[in-house]
Chains A and B, each alone.
Chain A
Amino acid sequence: MTALAHAPSSTAAAAPAHARKDKSQDRQKTMLAEHFHRLAVSRDTGEKNVQTFVPGNLTELIRSFDLLPVLPEINALQAGMRQKSGDYIQKAEKLGHSEDVCAYVKCDIGQLHSGNLGPTGEPLPSPDLLLLSYTGCFTFLKWFELIRHETKSPITMLHVPYQADGKITPSMREYVVKQIKETVIPALERVSGRKYDEEKLRDLLRRSARAEEDLVYVLESAKRVPSPIDGYFAAVYYVGPIFSAFRGTEDAVLYYRELREEIEERIRRGEGPTTPDGPMGPEKFRLVVEGPPNWTHFREFWKMFHSEGAVIVASTYSKVGGVYDNGFRHDPDHPLETMADYCMGCYTNLNFRSRIDMLCRYMTDYAADGLLIHSIKSCNSFSAGQLLILREVEARTGKPGGFFESDLVDPRYFSPANVKNRIESYLQMLEQKKSGGGHAR
């Protein structure tokens, strides 16, 4: 389930066109275009890249060596949004990957075999290093094993201990720091030809913390009733820069400052969320969502909610890269330790108890009417146990849960009529519970 959206890419048909473009959106778009262009010409300019995953990644460390991060989940979800994933997946299946394999993996492999064009339509370079930070998703290991097989790139693994007991202990932190020192930094030095520069890293981490502060403000603005933002569909854009290649950059700092100002302005004007189809109508339902969205029908999927007046006030998916709920911000004074905490604290690395606690907290803090779980058929790591989560949150909060399944980027597993039917049924159930007063109306 590890994925998150970038902003609309530079190709015209690539992503949802917002009815009213905010300045931050344009900025994000430019950031992406520049980043992917740098990658496209990196063989000529001599810039090197590191492929790594979204959850709990080490973007600042990678950047401190002047290396460019590449996130395969982002490429896959972008391919889904650009309607390319179906072909890519079929290509991967032709190569022998089973129908039940994670759709992101197959999309990535298929893309690699189709000219490896990135989200902006420009070619992606072969990875100079595969940095496998293992954070809860066991498919990550196989994924990079496959990429290594395809590209013959060197691979380095950072083993991130699972928060099985729901907390980070000092020995867990030491274990990760030791690996960063002894394995990851030397690997990055080899690829970049530069020495580790801790001061530079501290600067990056300082900027990360600034951007994080603004992002948290934006996400938590949804606690207001009515909410000024959508904390799921719109939030996947908001978390794009921070969870991918831009954490620690000045661009990210500017982006989040600008975004925050826009949301503050929206609050001043008393405006609700904006959607690809224009400003949302009156808020009727406040929902918490667990699980990533479907990308192949992203806009259609979003519309099923906003057209019914349903706003997603909080989502675990917008915490997939890193969780800031408990006050965590990158700490430049303890550079390696803070990165270790970030790695271990991401949503995919949390145990059931922590996930349930988090969802219950969202239900209360964000005054939600219900919890909806979008379960991913091809994701074995995170779909397991979601029904248990649902029951537990229902029992603890007394708020009704809903559950439905489709897929991330495999268009064959998204049947709009059926998904719409389930969402409508769920919302009508909420409405009945809210207005019924003990009598079905």
Chain B
Amino acid sequence: MKCYVGIDLGSTTTKAVVLDEQGAILGRGITNSRSNYDVACAVARGEAMTNVRFTLSARALPDVGLDAARSGPFLATLERFFRLAQYRAQMAVLREVATAEVPAVQSFFANAPLAPAIREILEVLDAGTEELFRPGAPRKSDFFRDLAGSQYHKEAQQRASPGKLPFEALMAVFDKAILKVENREIDLAFDQGAGWAIEQALVAEGLAADPAVPLLRAALRDAFGRALAVANASGTGYGRARLPFPKRQIRSEILCHGLGAHAMFPGTATVLDIGGQDTKAIQVDANGIVTSFQMNDRCAAGCGRYLGYIADEMSLGLHELGPLAQKATRPVKISSTCTVFAGAEIRDRLTLGQKREDILAGLHRAVILRAMSLIARSGGIKNEFTFTGGVAKNVTAVSVLRTLVKQNYGDVALNISPDSIFTGALGAALFALRAGADAAADPVEQKQEAGA
């Protein structure tokens, strides 16, 4: 079947969206961005293509007699097993490259018993894999880096001893290894990946003896095995000039976010996107055509990275910031959005005895205030208002924004999609679809084939 791909190469994450010929979303994929843009693109696209298989499966299930009540849990289980298979494959790569990195790190820490410690840590991580993917287990992130990293960090802390086995030495091995893991594409054979996951899910969901199994199995095998032809692809985001696309298939983030927001919420008139290093205020017309925009200039204060830095300073995950700030009872007033100053600000206020949640509430407000000033510059907020980008997932950022919008612009519909992080990629995919199938076929694939 024909499909269309959009890729948004962001400073923090790279996103991909796959559309069918009718413009419906078939799949989404996301990965951490890294220095190797080609790989980031390929990984995000690969993730999205995997996601397409689940969408196709979901579409097929009603036809083979699996009702909604059963198909939902079944698909969730299927995905869980599929992720487990992927995770195991990545763990195998981590084991291999981490072991290979030991001698290089060892040279800086001559007498530290590094090799046995790393071996032990990797064994513990391996053993913990099943637990991580047991039914109902909470996972803080979908990225291998985060999942394996937090476990590794914990184990390294337990094993480290000052003077003898430095914590830095153990982490240095991980830091070097994880880059290589992320830069390697995992391409599981059907029997080790999807095929295995299908069988496991059938058993786990008690469907193994179901009379519908042969049909179900055939439908799933079709969903996972059907040939997908990428008819066209477009790219956007920072470093888009380096995306493996011809220039005419590259669109600015401004156009992509405008069109993507319009596609998600057709009533959109104003878009705010807070990304890693850019904040964008965009005005679009009724067709999703950008009429004006403003971006932060000269300085990236108050962009998504600001929150990332604060999370690091407070030893929190990025996703924990918003919920924690919600607990604030006496929000602190912070006006500076300088990322570098933020660290000092936090430490200073903590020594003054102010609570983390209250400081965080102030920092969130500072970010949104800066965005509000950019919006004002672009011509203000018109109804409807769509908020996109990674920061739109942050509950506190959203609640502060809601309040300020109401104060400044009155009653305006505020749209936030749970998939808002994919807005730019969706816009790019729509551009690919509109440019039509006559354009070059999937350049990512072509490039890979040429390189292989």
What is the interface of chain A, defined by CB distance below 8 A to chain B?
375, 377, 387, 391, 394, 400-406, 413, 415, 417-418, 421-422, 424-426, 428-429, 432-433, 436, 438-441
Q: How far is the CB of A385 from chain B (nearest CB, A)?
A: 13
B277 closest partner in A (C-beta): A418
Contact A432 B290 (CB under 8 A): yes
Partner of B255, one of A404, A406, A421, A428: A428
Q: How far is the CA of A438 from the CA of B254 in the complex (A)?
A: 17
Partner of A436, one of B252, B287, B293, B379: B287
Q: How far is the CA of A422 from the CA of B293 in the complex (A)?
A: 10
A-B CB contact pairs (8 Å), 19 listed: A402-B292, A403-B294, A403-B377, A406-B297, A418-B297, A418-B298, A422-B295, A424-B252, A425-B293, A428-B251, A428-B252, A429-B252, A429-B291, A439-B434, A440-B259, A440-B262, A440-B434, A441-B431, A441-B435
Contact A405 B297 (CB under 8 A): yes
| A425-B252 contact, Cβ under 8 Å, with A405-B297, A415-B298, A440-B431 | yes
Question: Which A residues are in CB contact (< 8 Å) with B295?
Answer: 404, 421-422, 425
A387, A401, A425, A439, most chain B CB atoms within 10 A: A425
Q: How far is the CA of A429 from the CA of B258 in the complex (A)?
A: 10
Q: How far is the CA of A402 from the CA of B290 in the complex (A)?
A: 12
Partner of B298, one of A387, A413, A436: A413
Question: Which B residues are in CB contact (< 8 Å) with A436?
Answer: 287, 289
Q: At the interface, yes or no: B265 with Cβ under 8 Å from chain A? A: no
Contact B298 A429 (CB under 8 A): no
Partner of A387, one of B262, B291, B377, B434: B377
Interface string of B426-449 (1 = CB under 8 A from A): 000011001100000000000000
Q: How far is the CA of A403 from the CA of B292 in the complex (A)?
A: 9
Q: How far is the CA of A417 from the CA of B431 in the complex (A)?
A: 24
Contact A400 B291 (CB under 8 A): yes
| A406-B289 contact, Cβ under 8 Å, with A387-B377, A425-B255, A441-B431 | no
Q: How far is the CA of A368 from the CA of B293 in the complex (A)?
A: 19
Q: How far is the CB of B430 from chain A (nearest CB, A)?
A: 8
Contact B255 A432 (CB under 8 A): yes
Q: How far is the CA of A418 from the CA of B253 in the complex (A)?
A: 12
Partner of A404, one of B253, B297, B430: B297
Q: How far is the CA of A426 from the CA of B293 in the complex (A)?
A: 8
Question: Which A residues are in CB contact (< 8 Å) with B298?
Answer: 377, 405-406, 413, 415, 418
Contact B255 A429 (CB under 8 A): yes
Contact B289 A440 (CB under 8 A): yes
Question: Which B residues are in CB contact (< 8 Å) with A403?
Answer: 294, 377
Q: At the interface, yes or no: B244 with Cβ under 8 Å from chain A? A: no
A417, A424, A432, A433, most chain B CB atoms within 10 A: A432
Q: Which 4 A-B pairs have the closest CB atoms?
A: A425-B252, A405-B297, A425-B254, A429-B290
Q: How far is the CA of A313 from the CA of B419 in the complex (A)?
A: 43
Question: Which B residues are in CB contact (< 8 Å) with A438?
Answer: 287, 289
Question: Which B residues are in CB contact (< 8 Å) with A439?
Answer: 287, 289, 434
Q: At the interface, yes or no: B245 with Cβ under 8 Å from chain A? A: no
Interface string of B224-241 (1 = CB under 8 A from A): 000000000000001000
Q: Size band of the B side of the interface?
A: 20 to 34
| A429-B254 contact, Cβ under 8 Å, with A400-B292, A405-B297 | yes
Q: How far is the CA of A394 from the CA of B283 in the complex (A)?
A: 13
Q: How far is the CA of A422 from the CA of B290 in the complex (A)?
A: 14
A400, A421, A426, A438, most chain B CB atoms within 10 A: A421
Partner of B254, one of A387, A391, A428: A428
Q: At the interface, yes or no: B10 with Cβ under 8 Å from chain A? A: no
Partner of A429, one of B238, B262, B288, B293: B293
Interface string of B141-184 (1 = CB under 8 A from A): 00000000000000000000000000000000000000000000
Question: Which B residues are in CB contact (< 8 Å) with A422?
Answer: 295, 297
Q: How far is the CB of B437 from chain A (nearest CB, A)?
A: 15
| A421-B289 contact, Cβ under 8 Å, with A406-B297, A428-B252 | no
Question: Which B residues are in CB contact (< 8 Å) with A377?
Answer: 298
Question: Which A residues are in CB contact (< 8 Å) with B294?
Answer: 403
B262 closest partner in A (C-beta): A440
Question: Which B residues are in CB contact (< 8 Å) with A433?
Answer: 289-291
Question: Which A residues are in CB contact (< 8 Å) with B297?
Answer: 375, 404-406, 418, 422
B430 closest partner in A (C-beta): A440
Contact A441 B434 (CB under 8 A): yes
Q: How far is the CB of A310 from chain B (nearest CB, A)?
A: 14
Contact A440 B288 (CB under 8 A): yes
Contact A425 B292 (CB under 8 A): no
A427 closest partner in B (C-beta): B252
Contact B377 A440 (CB under 8 A): no
B252 closest partner in A (C-beta): A425
Question: Which B residues are in CB contact (< 8 Å) with A413?
Answer: 298
Given contact pairs A425-B253, A433-B289, enumerate 6 new A-B contacts (beta carbons under 8 Å).
Answer: A394-B292, A422-B295, A425-B255, A429-B292, A436-B289, A439-B289
Contact B292 A401 (CB under 8 A): yes
Q: How far is the CA of A441 from the CA of B258 in the complex (A)?
A: 12
Question: Which B residues are in CB contact (< 8 Å) with A400?
Answer: 291-292
Q: How far is the CB of B427 from chain A (nearest CB, A)?
A: 8
Q: How far is the CA of A440 from the CA of B6 in the complex (A)?
A: 15
Q: How far is the CA of A309 from the CA of B320 in the complex (A)?
A: 47
Q: How far is the CA of A436 from the CA of B430 in the complex (A)?
A: 14
Question: Which B residues are in CB contact (< 8 Å) with A421?
Answer: 238, 252, 295
Question: Which B residues are in CB contact (< 8 Å) with A375?
Answer: 297
Q: How far is the CB of B167 from chain A (nearest CB, A)?
A: 36
Q: How far is the CB of A431 from chain B (nearest CB, A)?
A: 9
Q: How far is the CB of A287 from chain B (nearest CB, A)?
A: 15
Q: How far is the CB of A399 from chain B (nearest CB, A)?
A: 11
Q: How far is the CA of A406 from the CA of B299 in the complex (A)?
A: 10
B255 closest partner in A (C-beta): A428
